[in-house]
A and B are shown apart, each in its own frame.
Chain A
Amino acid sequence: MGLDSTFAPLMESADRFAAAARKCMEDMQTPGPAAVEAARTFGDFLRVETMNFFRFPWSANPSSGDVSGAAPPPSMQDLPAFGPSREHQLRWQRTAATGRRVGDAQHRLHLLWSDALRDAAIAFAARLKPPCPSPAMRTMPDLEALRGLYNSWVDCAEEAYARVAHSDSFVGALADFMNASSEWRKESRASIELWAKALDLPTRSEVNTLMRRVSSLEEQLRLKEQDRLNEQDQLKNPRDTPRTDPPRARRPSRARRGKRP
């Protein structure tokens, strides 16, 4: 990600924040319901501003991509599977079902994220209630005052988010999202591998099988080499234990080792 794409949204966001904060402070000059309303409006602004800013692991929907062979024709989604295309239909249906589970979990996570932002906005507005604004803020806020407001918003937001993120509902939704995404990926890969086989292209499964065989051979070679070294050691030093134990290197004298290292 380039500097432009990282910082341009932040700068624009900072400008919007400053404008909203100044408006809020202006409206809060008069104590009473208007001030409470101003604080609530500012909190809501922050909630909306933050809603789509972050990129979470659950923000992307893996099943929304166009993967050849993975998307079932809508007409087949709920039909009983039989006949020559039975296996393909079942696979499509499984893929579609996992896609729906991904979407459902993602929806729950977005709701929880929204809840966290709502709670943050309420807590932030409560902090702003008169006579909360400091003397510096009763006039038009300067940069330091704006920064104080911003930090206060971050504190409220992190606290609210932490409560949600630790909750069972969030933990469950996140797990559902991850687990459904894993299943969706597995089903999609199976579909793609079918095409690859039809075109006589190597598949990931085949490569993995070969890699397992190579790993196994490497391990056998390592063990044989270890045995050979152990035997050499035994011949040189018959009373020594095998090399898998601590090395037989000579200990240097205490003077060479330094003071009680």
Chain B
Amino acid sequence: MTFADVYARLAAATDCAPGCSPKELVWESGKLRLFRYQPTAPSSGAVPLLIVYALVNRPYMMDLQEDRSLIRGLLDAGLTVYLIDWGYPDGADRFTTLADYIDRLLAGSVEQVLAAHRLDALNLLGVCQGGVLSLCFSALHPRKVRNLITMVTPVDFHTPADLLSKWARKIDVAAWVGDGNVSGDTLNQLFLALMPFRLGHQKYMDLLLGSPDQAQVENFMRVERWIFDSPDQAGAAFREFVAWFYQENRLVRNQLEVAGRKVDLRSLQVPLLNLIGSKDHLVPRDASKALQRLVGSKDYTTLEFDLGHIGMYISARAQREVPAAIVRWLAQR
């Protein structure tokens, strides 16, 4: 296969849309949209699972395409799945705070799910930064969460391997943000600068030299779209997130307050499953593993996968193992 062949396939795949599982909009608040996925299998009887994705990327990575969909795996096991889409903040959202995200928007979404199912607690799956938001919410509203799952979630932001945190610690984040939002493009450049040769060069060379078929090219283009489809970040929330977590490591120091209330991870008594990618360059494994020593839960499980950050969402191995692990763990509780 020549470069021209690969190029032609790439051109044909340029407009490949991500997302494969049908879903319906059940609630909106500002830019937030709460979706419920249509079931694909008889219900397992478990309480609904609400997926809380990060603010810094789009949540369709959870349901990228049929053979690369964590959500599809959960649906096929009979789980009822909801997903929060935070949307694209614009200038009008520049004063949206973490308290707004956690105690108003996430809390509002939880209320919607609970009311729809006439329950008083649900299962929560927080992904990456969404895991941090989920931990905060669960600590503030422990009775509304039956089981908590965190996936590639940073908790200790000062581990030696955490390059992003090292970079962030000396930056005057208040000056950086000013009164505005933070550009998603700038954040993307920072993420790529963590491993520039692999992320900015090698993966393209691998594609060009790898004789990919059309399906592989389409998969590549969907991931590529996801990587660069980075919403701007609401300024106030971004400033708080960097200062409180990356710079001051408040979760670990037990000094975090959200909406005027203390977030004490020791108050988390719910069963907790922590999914870690041992090759994660963005959220080093030690940054996630720290959760175990900080929470009060006696029912705590860590599952490590020999995968990187993105591999945890969309690798073939993740498709086989991650949804199955979640379903198995939930079924045991």
- Which positions in A face B, CB cutoff 8 Å? 3, 6-7, 10-11, 14, 50, 53-57, 143, 147, 150-151, 154, 157-158, 161-162, 165-166, 171-172, 174-175, 178-179, 182-183, 185-186, 204-205, 208, 211-212, 215, 222, 245-252, 257-261
Assembly CA distance A56 to B194 (angstroms):
10
The reply to whether the CB of B98 lies closer than 8 angstroms to some CB of chain A is: no
5 closest Cβ pairs, A-B complex: A258-B45, A175-B170, A182-B175, A246-B143, A261-B46
Q: Is the CB of A247 within 8 A of B114?
A: yes
Known contacts: A55-B189, A246-B141, A258-B44. The answer to whether A143 contacts B202 by CB under 8 A is no
Of B64-72, B118-126, B312-320, the one with at least 4 CB within 8 A of chain A: B118-126
Q: Closest CB-CB distance, A114 to chain B, in whole Å? A: 14
* Residues 143-180 of chain B, each 1 if its beta carbon lies under 8 Å from chain A, else 0: 11010000000000000000100110111100110111
Can you name 28 A-B residue pairings with CB atoms under 8 Å? A3-B10, A3-B11, A6-B204, A7-B204, A10-B208, A14-B3, A54-B193, A54-B201, A56-B196, A57-B186, A166-B163, A171-B167, A171-B169, A171-B170, A174-B167, A178-B172, A179-B176, A182-B175, A182-B176, A185-B178, A222-B104, A246-B141, A247-B115, A251-B119, A252-B119, A257-B119, A258-B44, A261-B45
Q: Would you list which residues of chain B between 81 and 133 have a CB under 8 Å from chain A?
A: 92, 94-95, 104, 111, 114-115, 118-121, 123
B residues in contact (CB < 8 Å) with A: 3, 7, 10-11, 14, 43-47, 92, 94-95, 104, 111, 114-115, 118-121, 123, 141, 143-144, 146, 163, 166-167, 169-172, 175-176, 178-180, 186, 189-190, 193-198, 200-202, 204-205, 208-209, 330-331, 333
Query: Do residues A179 and B200 form an inter-chain contact, with CB atoms below 8 A?
Result: no
Q: Is the pair A161, B204 in contact by a Cβ cutoff of 8 Å?
A: no
A50, A182, A208, A261 — most chain B CB neighbours (10 Å): A261
Contacts of A3 on B, CB cut-off 8 Å?
Answer: 7, 10-11, 14
- Please report whether the interface of chain B is mostly helix, strand, loop or mixed according to DSSP: helix
Interchain nearest-CB distance for A245 vs B (Å)? 8
Q: Cβ of B120: which chain A residues have Cβ within 8 Å of it? A: 246-249, 251
Q: State whether B176 touches A150 (Cβ < 8 A).
A: no
- Say what secondary structure dominates the interface of chain A: helix
Contacts A158-B197, A259-B45 hold; do A10 and B205 have CB atoms under 8 A apart? yes
Asked if B205 contacts A150 (CB within 8 A), the reply is yes
Cβ-closest chain B residue relative to A173? B170
Cα-based distance from A169 to B14 in the complex (angstroms):
41
Residue of B nearest to A175 (CB): B170
Distance (whole angstroms) from the CB of B291 to the closest CB of chain A: 23
